[in-house]
Amino acid sequence: MINIAIDGYSSCGKSTLAKALARTLGYIYIDTGAMYRAVALYALDHGFIHPDGTIDQEGLINALPSLHIDFKYSNDTGRSDVFLNGVSVESRIRNMQIAELASRISQIRAVRNKLQQLQRGIAHKKGVVMDGRDIGTVIMPDAELKIFMTADPEIRALRRYEELKAAGKETSLEEVRNNQVKRDYEDTHRAEDPLRKASDALVLDNSALSPDEQLKLALDWVKKKSKQVAEV
């Protein structure tokens, strides 16, 4: 077994690929973005977001020891759902408000320290697929396989719009596009662990690839890396 780190821009299908790889290989899948979304939801529910949209960083940081985030397999959804303090929050964190808030909260060093500690603990095991924006550079720099995902911005926006529309969420393509541009800028320009490609990461541009095609490509990379590790 090897560890697989997947990084990339929003709406590039990181989670789709990571879940498919974990399911096919029998690996553990960790959605780090969902962990930041869970913290964002906690901040929203507990009044750490001011009416003007600013974050009560001190209050949130003081509350961090009381946050417990887990992933549990759901027979209903057939996937690992996110649990915050023992309660499933999967259905509440998959919207643009939480996504935008999570992007800003992820810039708080204390939040990153807490979640990165949890993520590194999981990464000590082999057979882990983890996706996010700092996995190959910060969380699992020693991962045997690092994949950096990208796609044409317009294709990414359209995919996200269709995903939200299918989930019954009211939005517009323009709103999704604007949100994406903002998140990309914040992710790549934040002072704390910005999104960047690890020097040894393989680039996967899936603009013209179907989920099955990108999975096949990634599995070929897994096979090659696993063989190289076995030969060492």
> In this structure, how many other beta carbons lie within 10 angstroms of the beta carbon of residue 58?
10
Nearest alpha-carbon partner for 137 in 189, 228, 183, 201: 201
Domain count, the chain: 1
Please report whether residue 232 resides in a domain: no
Q: How far apart are CA 63 and CA 81, in angstroms?
A: 23
- Band (pLDDT 50/70/90 cuts) for residue 84 is very high
Kindly state the average pLDDT of the residues 18-26.
Answer: 91
- The pLDDT of 115-143, averaged and rounded, is 88
CA distances from 86 to 29, 31, 66, 73, 140 (A): 19, 17, 12, 13, 27
Q: Is the pLDDT of residue 73 over 80?
A: no
Three-state SS string over 121-187 comes to HHHCCCCEEEEECCHHHHHCCCCCEEEEEECCHHHHHHHHHHHHHHCCCCCCHHHHHHHHHHHHHHH
pLDDT in tens, 168-216: 888 899 999 998 999 899 889 988 888 999 999 999 999 999 999 999 9
State yes or no: pLDDT of 124 exceeds 90: no
Print the domain residue range for 157. 4-226
| Residue 161 pLDDT > 80 | yes
What mean pLDDT value characterizes the chain?
91
- The domain that holds 206 is classified in CATH as 3.40.50.300
Q: Tell whether 231 is covered by a domain.
A: no
Q: pLDDT tens, 47-64? A: 999 999 999 999 999 999
Angle formed at CA 172 by CA 45 and CA 13, multiple of 5 degrees: 75
Q: What is the pLDDT of residue 75?
A: 66
